Structure 1
Amino acid sequence: MKTTALGRIALATGITALTAGLFPASAHADDAVVERRTLPVLVEFADSAFQHPDKVKESTPETYFGAKKDSLASFFTELSRGRYRVTPAVDGQYAGPITLPMDASCDASKINTLTQEALAGQGLVRGEDYDSLSMVFPAQKTGCDWAGLGSVPGPYTWINLYGTDSGLGVVGHEFGHNLGLGHQTRSLCADGDLAGCETAGTSAKSIMGGGGPAAGISAPEMIRAGWLTDGETVKVTASGTYTLRSLHGEGDGVRALDIPMGEDRLVVEYRHAAGSFDQDIEGVHAYRVPGGDYGASTLIDVTEANKTAGNDAPADADAVTRLTDRASKVSLAVVSSGDGRAEVEVALDGEALSTAGKTPEKTSAPAPEHTGTDTDAGDGLPDGADGTEVQGGGQGQEASGTEDAGNLAATGGDSGTLPLAVGGAGMLVVGAGALLLIRRRKQA
């Protein structure tokens, strides 16, 4: 049976509604290359248009597909080492501007529905003509509490544009949500025992946790995205000493240790400057993965200084040297770390560490430059924004009409209230106490 463009879009969204929340908790990288056909769409409202449309049209292709390293395409190609490619879905690299039959609003569901209907009228249907839809619209008159919104996981991003170019900080962060990555937080476990930890800001080790694009993403997030091969991730089943190479470095080798820790997992990585990443991050870092959800990992900080590379401390300020989880009888100690290589001893089942009481060998790292703050989700600051961050909870927001959006994670904004990450009808709200971040904007 032949269907119309609008009929095909209804079918596509109906099918995705059944699958958007069922992505695997992690995937394994292989030689296959994932190509994500991405369609940025410039969207205007009946009462609000772009103030500088020519500049927006010029900057959009560069932000998403430009050859420079600060484009979305270049970022994901380098980060995945060529395993994930963002490509333009249409020859012109973007669509629009499209004027929606609605006044300026933050109703993401309605914007999505009307945008897809307009695209279908032009013969463009998601799943057939493009994979990811990124809706870019002027912030004037919207009053949104977020600079960007992304489905977690899913195919949709909304960019609330305050200038003429949102930049990689915003767009890369929201596309990270599309991969199933949440906001990466930090847990302070100052006594070195994971039994008594307190949440304290964001990790500064990922674009999803305050590190900005220069931090890339962390090892558990790389596992979630499917960008580490089986040979690059070792699932530890026996006590021993393991050698790690830098997470984002070139060549072969083990990049992550995946250790059982009761119902959770403990993922250990070594970070060292490589390519465009980790100029301000050094040392061995560890993450708790709750219930095998690698996209919801939390950095473990066992230091007493409460400092990260995000607040101008040394690059290895929150790197671990040793830690213990008495409940699961797991311990680890760093034997040596520096110059692109680290050795880590792991003890399971309550076995003693042979390195107990020894100081790990370590090569000094260069002084860092500022990369973020403890409460910065790494979205960047679009034109006209200041640097004030607010952290806290918020109220749920209805997203009916966007059935295949998955959960929505909102970041950035100009209000003192926080939008809660929500999904469409029947989707679960992201867990209570989830970190949601906003920014106060300068008023034009």
Structure 2
Amino acid sequence: MRKILTVGTIFVSGIAVATLLAVVFFSLFRPVSYAQTSPDVKDDQKMLVILANFKDTTVLSPNPEQVLKTMDLVNQFYQENSYYNAAIDRGIKVTGVKNPDRGADVVGVYTLPISNDCSFSPVAGAAISAANNDVDLTQYTGVVILAPFNCPWSGTDFPVTLQFAAKNGPVSLFVNEAGLPSPYTDAQIEPSAQTIAHEIGHALGLGHADMLDCGDVALAGTCTDVPYLGYFGIMGYTVTDIDAIQREVLGWLSSSNIQTVTSSGRYTIEPLETASNGVKVLKIPRVTSKIKTQYTVDGSTETCDSAVSTACKYPYFYIEYRQPIGFDTRLPSKIFTGALVHIGPGGPTALPNP
């Protein structure tokens, strides 16, 4: 049976830390070979939802209000996670242009002149062309295309912003595609919001939350990267809060929220979910001048001899503390009794993982 990296107490380079619930590996950026541009992670994300059918599919047309409720939940998620506060210009929100008090504007349903297709570009091009006559696309940051895809995924995104020749001039948009539930009932709102929020996370520059399976040992020399199995965040497979590493990448944690620990001692951290200037994260180097770490991931063995070595993909432990606040009320109660530990490269300057 697979061990899910759950242990009692962890000792890291002689630094005393709290109870460890899990260790999760995060691949922070998609391994793309071209420049990836993302929207400003401190500005409002102006979203347009395009409802579409294919010429060879017939589904019930969703009630636009159900779609708006879905996007309202996406907006609530990102406001909470970015510590949104308009008065101090902090965080982001997801809104419409015509409906600035809702999570998006909604247009359609359009019947696209193509058959059901899992390829990204044909669907994106057809849907945006259909909506181009009805809306000013230059007013939006991103587009979500909801269609009855018959594909092996619930949602997908293109890893760079796309350029379109809109009726009001050229426009650069990030584009996500997600399956259109039929019928679109209240029960479908949260699962759809989870998919869309996950894909928007990619547009903001985040990769998937994975897990390192190290067998019977909490963190062994040989571990297997298990994709998507990061249980404690939206970039894994639960509609729960973005973790500390990814909040640092997005610039949503201030310098006062992160304490780098280099000596043994007792440290106090606040819940990650609360908006404050207090310490929320302990950042602990896994490697010092006296310690070398060798590990194997996907068959590649590397030795880290410095916390800043390019060979050291995951040189930091991040210690965070979760409480049942906001979207984290969906986590199991045992998560709230101790610290949560992730490993990762740390900081927005981390290199893409190969």
1:81 aligns with 2:91: no
Structure 1 counterpart of 2:180 = 161
Provide the C-alpha distance between the structure 2 equivalents of 1:291 and 1:255, rounded to a whole number of angstroms: 15
1:94 partner SS: strand
- How do 1:94-113 and structure 2 match up within 5 A? 94-113=106-125
Correspondence 1:259 to 2:281: no
RMSD: 3.3
Q: Does 1:46 align with 2:55?
A: yes
Check whether the contact 1:185–1:209 (CA below 8 A) recurs between aligned residues: yes
What do residues 178-217 of structure 1 show as CA deviations (whole Å, max 9, x unaligned)? 222222112244445553434456131112223x21x212
Question: For residue 105 of structure 2, what is the aligned residue in structure 1?
Answer: 93
Q: Deviations over 1:412-444 (max 9, x none)?
A: xxxxxxxxxxxxxxxx9x85xxxxxxxxxxxxx
Per-residue displacement from partner, 1:353-396 (whole Å, max 9, x unpaired)? xxxxxxxxxxxxxxxxxxxxxxxxxxxxxxxxxxxxxxxxxxxx
User: For residues 272-296 of structure 1, what are the alpha-carbon distances to aligned partners after superposition, in whole Å with 9 as ceiling and x for unaligned?
Assistant: 2223324522221222214767999
TM-score normalised by length of structure 2: 0.65
Distance 2:271 2:349 in 1: 19
SS at structure 2 position matched to 1:276: helix
Aligned residue number for residue 324 of structure 2: 273
Q: Which residue of 1 is the match for residue 235 of structure 2? A: 208
Q: Which runs of 5+ in 1 are unaligned?
A: 1-16, 66-70, 297-427, 432-444
Quick one: which amino acid aligns to residue 282 of structure 2? L
The equivalent of 2:341 in structure 1 is 286
- After TM superposition, the structure 1 = structure 2 runs for residues 169-180 of structure 1, keeping only pairs within 5 Å, are 169-180=194-205
Correspondence list, 1:27-426, <5 A: 33-49=42-58, 51-53=59-61, 55-65=62-72, 71-82=73-84, 83-91=91-99, 93-122=105-134, 124-125=136-137, 128-139=138-149, 143-152=150-159, 154=161, 155-163=174-182, 164=184, 165=188, 167-189=192-214, 190-199=216-225, 202-210=229-237, 212-213=238-239, 215-236=240-261, 240-261=265-286, 262=307, 263=312, 264-266=314-316, 267-278=318-329, 279-280=331-332, 281-282=335-336, 283-290=338-345
Q: What does residue 361 of structure 1 align with?
A: none
Alpha-carbon deviation of 1:254? 0.8
2:245–2:347: 8 Å Cα contact kept in structure 1? no
Q: Which residue of 2 aligns with 1:6?
A: none
Task: Give me the identity figure in percent.
Answer: 25
C-alpha separation between the residues in 2 aligned to 1:209 and 1:43? Answer: 27
Structure 1 pair 188/48, CA: closer, same or farther in 2 (3 Å)? closer
The answer as to whether partners of 1:231 and 1:253 remain within 8 angstroms in 2 is yes
Residues 98, 18 of structure 1: alpha-carbon distance in 2 compared, 3 angstrom cutoff: farther
Q: Does the residue aligned with 1:171 lie in a helix, a strand or coil? A: helix
Alpha-carbon distance in structure 1 between the residues aligned to 2:33 and 2:152: 29
Alignment check: 8 A CA contact 1:258 1:265 kept = no
Q: List 4+ stretches of structure 1 deviating above 6 A.
A: 293-296
Q: CA offsets, 1:2-53, max 9 Å, x none?
A: xxxxxxxxxxxxxxx99961559xx9x9xxx52000011112222224x221
One-letter identity of the residue aligned with 1:224 = V
Query: How far is the alpha carbon of 1:149 from its aligned partner?
Result: 0.8
CA displacement, residues 307-339 of structure 1 (integer Å, 9 cap, x when unaligned): xxxxxxxxxxxxxxxxxxxxxxxxxxxxxxxxx
- Residues 174, 138 of structure 1: alpha-carbon distance in 2 compared, 3 angstrom cutoff: same
Read off the aligned partner of 2:151 and give its amino acid letter.
C
Greater RCO between the two (CA within 8 Å, min separation 6)? Answer: 2
C-alpha distance in 2, partners of 1:272/1:196?
32
> Counterpart of 2:271 in structure 1: which amino acid?
S
Distance 1:124 1:99, change over 3 A: farther
| Inter-CA distance 258–144: structure 2 relative to 1 (3 Å threshold) | same
